[in-house]
A and B are shown apart, each in its own frame.
Chain A
Amino acid sequence: MSQTRTPIVTLSGVQKFYGDYHALRGITAEIGRGEFFSLLGPSGCGKTTLLRAIAGFEDISDGQILLDGKDMEGVPPNRRPTNMVFQSYAIFPHMSVAENVGFGLRKSAMSTAEKRAAVGQALEMVGLGKFGARAAHALSGGQRQRVALARALILKPKVLLLDEPLSALDKKMREVMQVELIKLQREVGITFVLVTHDQEEALVMSDRIAVMFEGEIAQLADPETLYRRPNSRRVAEFIGMMNFLPARVTDPAGARVQVDVQGLGPAELDPAQCPGGAKAGGAEIGVRPESLTLLYDGQTAEAGREASGTVREVVYYGDMTYYDVLLDGTPAPVRVSMRNMPGRKVLEFGARARLAWDPRAMVLFG
């Protein structure tokens, strides 16, 4: 659906060098109007550099950045239609909360009363209605985060840039703010571009995610595609957990790709499950832990897609249990996750286990 929207940000062939260091290696992407877009990657992958380049804090060495169709070459940050929420929040410590939020309105033509109303509205929006007079340094982490959001959104930017905005918060607060950010974005309809190294955060919040490694976009897709059909082993490993099983492609040319998976058996794959294409010979099959299912007494797998092995590790999480199961005839165990439910016994270390598998949940890597 995002393809049908006209892009608000267009990146074409964006390059950035720091001396000899090649930080951005030709980034090309379009960010749709009103989209919640994430740049996800490990530290040093260039995601923050790219965000700062969009904001205008970094000059780019080559390529082009268009914001709402206008080339941003040479346009300083104060004249770009973007606002940023900084990782440290950058709340001005010598000002009150209201002064912080109203800072961007200093040069606007609004009357003092209008400005005050706008500040009140912005604070209300982030749930800090009564905090206007509070000194900025007397705020908690979550409150600072909200002030930074209100301060950036009061100018109604075309794009809101968020640099790891949740990384300074504890786990509980982070989860609360994730949901709040989604709600807020839906409410204001402004394009959000989020930088994060937390894959779960990106999956939860984004319409689309660009996974970046070493200054390049490895895959740009919606969260579900990214999770179900990672286009490389590296993306697969970065997003969630995935088992990799040695396999042999027996027929790559047919309408269905024929694969023989070690420990599981022969499988038929759709060409869409082979992001790098299929070649006859050795390959790897990726399968998520939740796509392997333990079979209990009396249960059988569909079409004989069943394998057996020994439990080598049991990790109990309350709602879930993770097992490492060494399938017969394979060198390394696979991870299996099972939701804990009444009637589902938690298996013990060393127990024999039967697994059901589904070829539709597999991805082939060359």
Chain B
Amino acid sequence: MRLNALSLFAVLYLLVLYAPIVLLPMFAFNSGTVIAFPLQGVTLDWFAALLNTPALHEATVNSLIIAISTAIFATILGLFAARAATRYGFPGKGGMVGFIMLPLVLPEVIVAISLLIVLMQLGLESGTWSIIAGHTLICTPFAIAILQGSFSNMDKSLEEAAIDLGETPWSTFRLITLPLVSPGIIASLLICFTISLDEFIIAFFLSGNEPTLPVYLWGQLRFPARLPVVMALGTILVVLSVILLIIAETFRRRGLKRAGLKDTGGFL
């Protein structure tokens, strides 16, 4: 009996967690203009409307530029930090790694406000580049967490062996380190891209007059007639995020397999 109660709890829990998200595609394909049950007919009009909205296209381009730049910057920074943290011991290492990882738990609204204050104090215009900076700040800890896993799975003597066989530190990095952590790098790029693409608070505070996709979405909520279109866009974003996360996880597992290691419970 106890088992049944627990199973019931688990099912309810998952339902509460995911039911609202299921509503998104339901209304995205619903032909009625009002977001309410009962559902009317099936339509693709709302998706078609997305294609005819230039402001949405601009927001999408902004978001893609920001997400791609963030993914690259955060992963490069994460690569350096993760290698240093797993390979070397140096004074103050613990504190330093702690501070780098802090944005992981820091409320985003704090990060957003402080960045905005800094920008205002410096008299700088906020815009795409400032969102990239903010997103890099919050994504780098994720990149480090993923890459640290890749590095600590890698036998340190592999790099030494390559140097011993005549390679320079740089060619060793290129021939041995990079191929072995590349699944981690790809996973990190994809996860940072996804986080940046979905991020709202920092983008909202810093976007100025160049909204990102989530900020644009939020703006559209004021117009009830636009709601089904927002639902359609939301549906696309959810599907995209899920696909990206699955690809990222696949690469992480492939990396483990290539290194001949057991999965010890990954990032996801």
Across the interface, do B164 and A78 meet the contact criterion of CB distance under 8 Å?
A: yes
Across the interface, do B155 and A88 meet the contact criterion of CB distance under 8 Å?
A: yes
Q: Which of B160, B165, B258, B259 has the largest number of chain A CB atoms within 10 A?
A: B165
Interface residue tally of chain A, by bracket? Answer: 20 to 34
Question: In the complex, how many angstroms separate the beta carbon of B228 from the nearest chain A beta carbon?
Answer: 49
Known: A90-B155, A90-B160. A106 touches B166 (CB 8 A): yes
A90 and B158 alpha carbons, distance in the complex (Å): 5
Q: Quick check: is A322 within 8 A (CB to CB) of the other chain?
A: no
Q: Which of A32-63 contact B (CB under 8 A)?
A: 55, 57
Across the interface, do B179 and A86 meet the contact criterion of CB distance under 8 Å?
A: no
Q: Which of A87-135 contact B (CB under 8 A)?
A: 87-88, 90, 92-94, 103-104, 106-107
Q: Which residue of A lies closest to B260 (CB)?
A: A137
Q: Could you mark each residue 147-185 of chain B with 1 if its beta carbon is under 8 Å from any beta carbon of chain A, else 0? A: 000000001011011111111100000001001100000
Task: Specify which chain B residues have a CB less than 8 angstroms from the CB of A84 in the assembled complex.
Answer: 160-161, 164
Across the interface, do A83 and B157 meet the contact criterion of CB distance under 8 Å?
A: no
A241 and B168 alpha carbons, distance in the complex (Å): 47
Question: In the complex, how many angstroms separate the beta carbon of A45 from the nearest chain B beta carbon?
Answer: 20
A314 and B9 alpha carbons, distance in the complex (Å): 65
Main secondary structure of the interface of B (DSSP, over half): helix
Across the interface, do B158 and A83 meet the contact criterion of CB distance under 8 Å?
A: no
A137 and B256 alpha carbons, distance in the complex (Å): 12
Q: Quick check: is A151 within 8 A (CB to CB) of the other chain?
A: yes
Known: A93-B180, A93-B259. A77 touches B157 (CB 8 A): no
A93 and B162 alpha carbons, distance in the complex (Å): 12
Task: Specify which chain B residues have a CB less than 8 angstroms from the CB of A57 in the assembled complex.
Answer: 160, 164
A83 and B166 alpha carbons, distance in the complex (Å): 9
A55 and B161 alpha carbons, distance in the complex (Å): 11
Question: Could you list 10 A-B pairs, sorted by A, with CB under 8 Å?
Answer: A78-B166, A82-B164, A84-B160, A90-B155, A92-B162, A93-B158, A94-B180, A103-B165, A104-B165, A137-B259
Q: Which of A65-94 contact B (CB under 8 A)?
A: 76-79, 82-84, 86-88, 90, 92-94
Q: Quick check: is A353 within 8 A (CB to CB) of the other chain?
A: no
Question: In the complex, how many angstroms separate the beta carbon of A277 from the nearest chain B beta carbon?
Answer: 44
Across the interface, do A107 and B161 meet the contact criterion of CB distance under 8 Å?
A: no
Across the interface, do A76 and B163 meet the contact criterion of CB distance under 8 Å?
A: yes
Task: Specify which chain A residues have a CB less than 8 angstroms from the CB of B163 in the assembled complex.
Answer: 76-78
Across the interface, do A107 and B166 meet the contact criterion of CB distance under 8 Å?
A: yes
For B162, give its contact among A76, A79, A82, A103 (CB under 8 Å). Answer: A103
Question: In the complex, how many angstroms separate the beta carbon of A97 from the nearest chain B beta carbon?
Answer: 14
For B258, give its contact among A87, A90, A94, A107 (CB under 8 Å). Answer: A94
Across the interface, do A93 and B160 meet the contact criterion of CB distance under 8 Å?
A: no
Across the interface, do A83 and B165 meet the contact criterion of CB distance under 8 Å?
A: yes
Known: A88-B155, A92-B176, A93-B180. A155 touches B165 (CB 8 A): yes
Question: In the complex, how many angstroms separate the beta carbon of A143 from the nearest chain B beta carbon?
Answer: 14
Across the interface, do A90 and B166 meet the contact criterion of CB distance under 8 Å?
A: no
Question: In the complex, how many angstroms separate the beta carbon of B13 from the nearest chain A beta carbon?
Answer: 40
Across the interface, do A104 and B157 meet the contact criterion of CB distance under 8 Å?
A: no
A283 and B158 alpha carbons, distance in the complex (Å): 51
Task: Specify which chain B residues have a CB less than 8 angstroms from the CB of A55 in the assembled complex.
Answer: 164
Q: Which residue of B lies closest to A163 (CB)?
A: B157
A151 and B161 alpha carbons, distance in the complex (Å): 10
- In addition to A78-B163, A92-B162, A94-B258, 11 A-B residue pairs with Cβ atoms within 8 Å of each other are A57-B164, A79-B166, A86-B161, A88-B157, A92-B161, A103-B165, A106-B166, A107-B167, A137-B259, A151-B165, A152-B165
Task: Specify which chain A residues have a CB less than 8 angstroms from the CB of B155 in the assembled complex.
Answer: 88, 90
Task: Specify which chain B residues have a CB less than 8 angstroms from the CB of A78 in the assembled complex.
Answer: 163-168
Question: In the complex, how many angstroms separate the beta carbon of B254 from the nearest chain A beta carbon?
Answer: 11
Question: In the complex, how many angstroms separate the beta carbon of B34 from the nearest chain A beta carbon?
Answer: 57
Task: Specify which chain A residues have a CB less than 8 angstroms from the CB of B179 in the assembled complex.
Answer: 94
Task: Specify which chain A residues have a CB less than 8 angstroms from the CB of B259 in the assembled complex.
Answer: 93, 137
Known: A88-B157, A92-B158, A92-B176. A77 touches B258 (CB 8 A): no
A107 and B168 alpha carbons, distance in the complex (Å): 11
Question: In the complex, how many angstroms separate the beta carbon of B257 from the nearest chain A beta carbon?
Answer: 9
For A104, give its contact among B160, B166, B176, B180 (CB under 8 Å). Answer: B166
Across the interface, do B164 and A77 meet the contact criterion of CB distance under 8 Å?
A: yes
